[in-house]
Amino acid sequence: MKMAVNIGGATIKNPVMTASGTYGYGDVYTELCDVTRLGAVVTKGVTLEPAQGNPPPRGCETASGMLNAIGLQNVGVAAFIAEKLPPLRERGVACVVNVQGSSITEFVAVSQKLTGIDGVTALELNVSCPNKTGGLSFGTDPKALNTLVTAVRKATPLPLMTKLSPNVTDITVCARAAVDGGTDSLSVMNTVIGMAVNLGDPSRGIRPRPVLRNVTGGLSGPAIKPVALRMVWQVVQAVDVPVIGIGGIASATDALEFLAVGASAVQIGTASFYNPRACEEVVDGIAAYMTEHTVADINDLIGTFEIPWTAT
Amino acid sequence: MIQKQVPIVFNHHLAGATHVLGFDCAEIARAAAPGQFVMMREVQPRGYLLNRPFSIGNVDGNTIEIYYDAVGKATHAFAELDKGDELDVFGPLGRGFTLETWAKVNVLVAGGIGIAPFPFLAIELAKRRPQTHTVVLAGFRSAPLVVLADLFAEIGVGFKVATDDGSQGYNGFVTGLLEQELDAHGNNKVGVYACGPELMLKRVAEIAVGRDVFCELSLEQRMACGVGACLVCACNTRAADGAADYKMVCKDGPVFNARDVVFE
Ligand SMILES: Cc1cc2nc3c(=O)[nH]c(=O)nc-3n(C[C@H](O)[C@H](O)[C@H](O)COP(=O)(O)OP(=O)(O)OC[C@H]3O[C@@H](n4cnc5c(N)ncnc54)[C@H](O)[C@@H]3O)c2cc1C
Ligand SMILES: Cc1cc2nc3c(=O)[nH]c(=O)nc-3n(C[C@H](O)[C@H](O)[C@H](O)COP(=O)(O)O)c2cc1C
Ligand code: FES
C-alpha cells in the first residue's frame, strides 16, 4: 500500500500531519502518541525572537470547538534550531516549520535562518498573524500576501506552504495571490475569528464581558469543518498547487472527505487535545479504508469527489 | 503519563455542589504525587469536547479519588455517572507540591473546592515527614457547604473551618485564619500550601511572602490539552531577573512558589 504524498516538492510518508500550535514542537505527546508514524509534524509558529504571547485567559471551549488567542508565544528561531529540531531529526520525523512574523523582513529573516538546516522539511507561512499591533494583515490582503510570498520565495529554496486565512470573502483570490508569489502549496485553513461572552452577574454589578482577554480569538475544532471543506474544495478548483486540508478533522472519515475534495494531505489540530492519539488513529483509519476498498495508492483517492447531477 | 478508559468505582454527592468520584487506574495511582492532576472526560461526552483538569484528591490502592464541584457542562454530566461507567482519563500531569521543606508545621489553606488536592497532600506529608504537624484551614461560604472534616480527622491532621457568613468556625475569610495560625507559630517553622480562588491565593501570597515563610500555590487556568501543547493555560510569573514571564499552569505548574506568581 502506498501512502506517500508529494506536497509541492516535499515527499512525506503519509498525508497526516499535526497542525501548527496544537502539538508543541512534536515533543509534548511522546508518551501517548508515536510521532514517527506521522507524515510530518508542523511546529508552533516560530518568530525571529522569542515571544511571550497574549495575556490570559487565552482559550475557552465553545459549541463543538474552542477559541484561542495565544498570540505569538514561541521560543524564537535560534532556540528552535538548537533545542527543538534535533530530537525530531534524530527520530526521523519530517518537520514543517510554521513561520510567523509581524513584517516581511521578519518572515524573510526566519525563513533564511531555517534554510540549509538539516531536518527542516518545508516552511509553512502563517499569514493570518493574530498580532494585533502588526500593521499589515497579510492573510486578508491579496496584494500584501503576494508581496510577502514573493519575498520569502526569493529568500529560500525550501518547499513553501502558505497557510490561508478563512476570514475573507473569497479565499480563491488569496490562493491565487500566494501561488503567483511562488508558493509550492497551500494549507487551508487557519482559525475563524470568533468571540465568547461571559454574562457576568448583574445582581452583583458585574457586567457582561469577553471571556478572552484579547476579546476575539480563533475558532477551531469540529465546529469549523464544513467551512474548511468548502474552502479546500474552492481552492483546489482555483489553483494548480497541492492543497493541505485543515479544520475540525478528528477521524479518518473526516480526513478522507478532505482528500476526496482534492486535498493532498491533512493536518489535525484541536482533536489532539481531547484525543492525543488522534493523528495516529487517522493514519491507521486511512490505511484500513484503503485495504477495505482495495486502494493501492493514496493518490488515487485524492480529488475523486464529483457532483453527480448537472446544474439546473 | 498514561491515557486510558477507566471504570468509575464510586461517585456521590457530598454537600452543596461538591461530589467525590473514584476511578480505578493502577498506572496513575502508582505514579501520582500530591498536587498533580488528571485530564478527564466522558467516553462519549455529552455536549462538550475537551477534557477537564482535576486535582488528584487522594490515592487509595488503585483507586484515584477526585473531589469536584458540579459547576458547568462537563461537571454536571460527571455528577450523573454511576459505578461501572467509564471515563477517558490521562495523567498524572503537572508539577506537584514540594514535600521536603524546613517546616515543622504544614499549613494547608483551602478555599471552597480548593480543598481537593489536600487529602493526598496531608497523607503524604504524614508518611514522609512524620515528625511534622499538619493543619488544614478550610474556607467555605457557609456551614452546610463544609466537606471532608471527617476525612481529615481520620487522616489525623488538624482541621479548622472559616465561613464567610460566620455560620461555622472562624467568622470571615480563611486568610484571616491563616494570619491567626501564623501568629501562633514561629514563622520560619511554617510551610504554607494553598489552593482556591485567585483572590484568596493573592492574599495568601501577600501574607506568606510578607512574613517570609515558604509558600506554594496551586493555580488554576483554563486548559485545552493539559500537557503543554496548546499554550492556553498561561499564567504570569516573574523570571529570575524580575521580568514578566508566562508559564504554563499544566506543565510548569499547577503548583508554583508564591514568590514567583504575579497577580493582577
Ligand atoms: C489544575 C486544575 C485542577 C483542578 N482541580 C479541580 C478539582 O479537583 N475539583 C474541581 O471541582 N475543579 C477543579 N478544577 C476546575 C475544573 O477544571 C473546572 O471546574 C471544570 O473544568 C469546569 O468544567 P465544566 O464543563 O463543568 O464547566 P464549564 O461549562 O466549562 O464552565 C462552567 C463555569 O466554570 C468556569 N470554569 C471552567 N473552567 C474553569 C477553570 N479551569 N478554572 C476556573 N473556572 C473555570 C467557567 O468560566 C464557567 O463559569 C481544576 C482546574 C485546574 C486548572
Ligand atoms: C491553540 C492553538 C494554537 C494555534 N497556533 C497556530 C500557530 O502558531 N500557527 C498557525 O499557523 N496556526 C495555529 N493554529 C491553527 C491550527 O494550526 C489550525 O489551523 C486550526 O486549529 C484549525 O484546525 P483544527 O480545527 O483541526 O484545530 C492554532 C490553533 C490552536 C487551537
Ligand atoms: S493546557 Fe495546553 S498548554 Fe496547558
B188: pLDDT strictly greater than 90: no
The share of chain B scoring above pLDDT 90, in percent, equals: 91
The share of chain A scoring above pLDDT 70, in percent, equals: 97
For range B103-114, the mean pLDDT? 95
Closest Cα in chain A to B226: A273
A31 closest CB neighbour out of B1, B50, B222: B1
A23 touches chain B (CB under 8 A): yes
Q: Which positions in chain B touch A61 (Cβ < 8 Å)? A: 48-50, 224
What is residue B112's DSSP assignment? Answer: G
Choose one of B13, B14, B42, B52 to mutate for the ligand 1 pocket test, by most ligand atoms within 8 angstroms of C-beta. Answer: B52
The span from the first CA to the last CA of chain A, in angstroms, equals 41
CB distance A132 to A20 below 8 Å: no
What is the predicted pLDDT for the residue at A136? 53
What is the predicted pLDDT for the residue at A301? 97
A64 touches chain B (CB under 8 A): yes
Interatomic CA distance for residues A192 and A220, integer angstroms: 7
The mean pLDDT value of chain A amounts to 94
What is the predicted pLDDT for the residue at A134? 46
User: Which residues, 6 or more positions from B194, have their beta carbon under 8 angstroms from its beta carbon?
Assistant: B108, B109, B110, B111, B114, B200, B201, B204, B205, B215, B216, B217, B218, B258
Distance of CA A48 to the CA centre of its chain: 19
Q: Which tens digit of pLDDT belongs to each residue from B145-186?
A: 999 999 999 999 999 999 999 999 999 999 999 999 999 887
Q: Which positions in chain B touch A24 (Cβ < 8 Å)? A: 228-229
B256 touches chain A (CB under 8 A): no
Q: Which positions in chain B touch A222 (Cβ < 8 Å)? A: 49
User: Quick check: A56 and B235 CB within 8 A?
Assistant: yes
Q: Which contacts (CB < 8 Å, 24+ apart) does range A289-294 have? A: A289/A252, A289/A256, A290/A1, A290/A3, A291/A1
Task: Give the residue from A22, A30, A34, A61 with the most B CB atoms within 10 Å of its CB, the best one to mutate.
Answer: A61
Kindly name the residue from A33, A129, A174, A279 that is annotated as catalytic. Answer: A129
Q: Is A129 a catalytic residue?
A: yes
B227 closest CB neighbour out of A28, A58, A66: A28
All three cell numbers of A96? 514543517
Interatomic CA distance for residues A146 and B167, integer angstroms: 68
Q: How far is CA B11 from CA A310, B23, B86, B138, in A?
A: 57, 9, 12, 23
User: Which residues, 6 or more positions from A75, have their beta carbon under 8 angstroms from its beta carbon?
Assistant: A25, A46, A50, A83, A84
What is the predicted pLDDT for the residue at A132? 47
Is this model's pTM higher than 0.90 or not?
A: yes
Q: Which of A52, A71, A195 has the alpha carbon at shortest distance from A128?
A: A71
Helix/strand/coil (H, E, C) string of chain A? CECCEEECCEEECCCEEECCCCCCCCCCCCCCCCHHHCCEEECCCECCCCECCCCCCCEEEECCEEEECCCCCECCHHHHHHHHHHHHHHCCCCEEEEECCCCHHHHHHHHHHHCCCCCEEEEEEECCCCCCCCCCCHHHCHHHHHHHHHHHHHHCCCCEEEEECCCCCCHHHHHHHHHHCCCCEEEECCCEEEECEECCEHHHCECCEECCCCCEEEEECHHHHHHHHHHHHHHHHHCCCCEEEECCCCCHHHHHHHHHCCCCEEEECCHHHHCCCHHHHHHHHHHHHHHHCCCCEHHHCCCCCCCCCCCC
Phi, psi torsion values for A45, nearest 5 degrees: -55, 135
- Strands in A192-195's sheet, in edge-to-edge order, are A59-62, A65-68, A216-220, A192-195
Q: How far is the CA of B135 from the centre of ligand 2 (A)?
A: 45
CB-defined site of ligand 1, < 6 Å: A 61; B 37, 48, 52-55, 67-69, 71-75, 113, 116, 220-223, 249, 254
B262: pLDDT strictly greater than 90: yes
Interatomic CA distance for residues A106 and A114, integer angstroms: 12
Ligand 3 atom with minimal separation from the B225 CA: 2
CB-defined site of ligand 2, < 6 Å: A 19-22, 44-45, 68, 70, 98, 126, 163, 190-191, 220-221, 224, 246-249, 268-271; B 230, 232
All three cell numbers of B76? 454536571
Residue listed under C-alpha cell 482495495? A294
A217 touches chain B (CB under 8 A): no
Which of the four pLDDT bands, split at 50, 70 and 90, describes residue B121?
Answer: very high
A70 touches chain B (CB under 8 A): yes
Q: Which tens digit of pLDDT belongs to each residue from A113-140?
A: 999 999 999 999 999 765 444 445 788 8
What is the predicted pLDDT for the residue at B31? 96
Q: Which tens digit of pLDDT belongs to each residue from A189-217?
A: 999 999 999 999 999 999 999 999 999 99
Q: How far is the CA of A54 from the centre of ligand 1 (A)?
A: 21
Ligand 1 atom with minimal separation from the B53 CA: 17
Interatomic CA distance for residues B37 and B90, integer angstroms: 9
User: Quick check: B229 and A58 CB within 8 A?
Assistant: no
What is the predicted pLDDT for the residue at A129? 64
For range B72-101, the mean pLDDT? 96
Which of the four pLDDT bands, split at 50, 70 and 90, describes residue B197?
Answer: very high
Q: Which tens digit of pLDDT belongs to each residue from B4-28?
A: 999 999 999 999 999 999 999 999 9
The mean pLDDT value of chain B amounts to 94
All three cell numbers of A54? 497574549
Interatomic CA distance for residues B249 and A178, integer angstroms: 38
Residue ranges of chain A with pLDDT lower than 70?
129-136, 312
Q: Which of A236, A232, A266, A273 has the alpha carbon at shortest distance from A249?
A: A266
What is the predicted pLDDT for the residue at B187? 60
Residue listed under C-alpha cell 498524572? B92
Interatomic CA distance for residues B37 and B60, integer angstroms: 16
Interatomic CA distance for residues B13 and A84, integer angstroms: 46
Ligand 1 atom with minimal separation from the B68 CA: 11
What is the predicted pLDDT for the residue at B239? 82
